[in-house]
């Protein structure tokens, strides 16, 4: 009862798609270094920076504006980049870190920091803004033509898929199909973010189609998938 920063959160272990379980506790955000351990024959995650994200209820008792978990995560990644100014960093996170404001924050960094997260299947995606012509009037355009959502691409029978067999977390290798596109993700009131997204589906239909995004447009689809699978 004396832990002021505690809150009520979804229990990811006991919850499922049809059953929601809440638990009282603290929300910790941890940056972990993923490295391959040869004798263990798998990737291990070593935590090197952890921060407490107090609950919204805690901020209400303090009379302060709540701070989102993405705000803490942004500060932690910025600190990490200051520790390793000469390194190209790749940050992998789940869909909690796929907000446009969170992704846009890294565009101002001079250091190479790539974010790979999940992408909503109903995300509003566009072509890049057309090149502004000399003496063209009006405000510069932020985006181009509206593109199909990842869900629409997945449901389109004419979509061209590439098939590969990949190591799948700690399970046997799995055969998946994927396609990739370079787009601009935009929402009214937020800054547009150019991303490469990879849409994948299981050949056997054991999981629903999923989309991943990368802020590095030069990353290949296979590398994006490989990076994301390493997080487990």
Look at residue 151 in the predicted model and tell me its pLDDT.
Answer: 95
Q: In the chain, pLDDT over 90 holds for what percent of residues?
A: 41
Look at residue 207 in the predicted model and tell me its pLDDT.
Answer: 85
Q: Per the structure block, which two tokens stand in for 29?
A: 């955000």
pLDDT band at 132 (very low <50, low <70, confident <90, very high): confident
Look at residue 232 in the predicted model and tell me its pLDDT.
Answer: 64
- CA distances (Å), origin 160, targets 136, 147, 163, 174, 183: 38, 16, 10, 19, 17
- Quick check: 171 and 191 in contact, CB under 8 A? no
Does residue 92 surpass a pLDDT of 70? yes
Does residue 136 surpass a pLDDT of 80? no
- Rounded CA-CA distance 20/50 in Å is 27
For the segment 173-223, what is each residue's pLDDT rounded down to a tens digit?
889 999 999 999 988 878 889 999 999 999 888 889 999 999 999 999 999
**DSSP-assigned letter for residue 98:** -
CB atoms within 10 A of CB 92: 19
Q: Which of 52-56, 178-182, 223-227 has the lowest mean pLDDT?
A: 52-56
Q: Per the structure block, which two tokens stand in for 130?
A: 């057309």
* Residue appearing with tokens 């046997």: 172
For the segment 149-185, what is each residue's pLDDT rounded down to a tens digit?
999 999 999 999 999 988 876 677 889 999 999 999 9
Averaged pLDDT, 4-25: 83
Q: To the nearest 10°, the Cα dihedral for 68, 70, 71, 74?
A: 170
């Amino acid at each position: 009862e004396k832990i002021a920063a505690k809150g009520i959160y979804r229990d990811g272990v006991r919850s499922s798609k049809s059953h929601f379980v809440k638990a009282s506790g603290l929300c910790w955000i941890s940056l972990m270094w993923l490295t391959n351990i040869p004798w263990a024959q798998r990737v291990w995650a070593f935590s090197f920076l952890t921060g407490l994200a107090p609950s919204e209820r805690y901020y209400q008792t303090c009379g302060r504006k709540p701070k989102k978990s993405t705000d803490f995560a942004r500060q932690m990644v910025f600190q990490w980049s200051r520790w390793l100014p000469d390194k190209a960093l790749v940050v992998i996170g789940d869909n909690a870190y796929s907000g446009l404001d969170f992704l846009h924050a890294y565009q101002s960094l001079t250091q190479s920091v790539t974010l790979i997260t999940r992408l909503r299947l109903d995300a509003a995606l566009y072509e890049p803004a057309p090149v502004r012509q000399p003496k063209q009037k009006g405000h510069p355009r932020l985006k181009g033509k509206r593109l199909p959502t990842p869900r629409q691409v997945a449901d389109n029978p004419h979509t061209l898929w590439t098939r590969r067999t990949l190591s799948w977390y700690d399970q046997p290798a799995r055969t998946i199909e994927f396609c990739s596109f370079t787009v601009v993700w935009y929402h009214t009131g937020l800054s547009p973010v150019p991303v490469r997204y990879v849409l994948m589906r299981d050949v056997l239909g054991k999981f629903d189609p999923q989309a991943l995004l990368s802020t590095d447009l030069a990353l290949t689809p296979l590398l994006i998938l490989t990076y994301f699978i390493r997080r487990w």
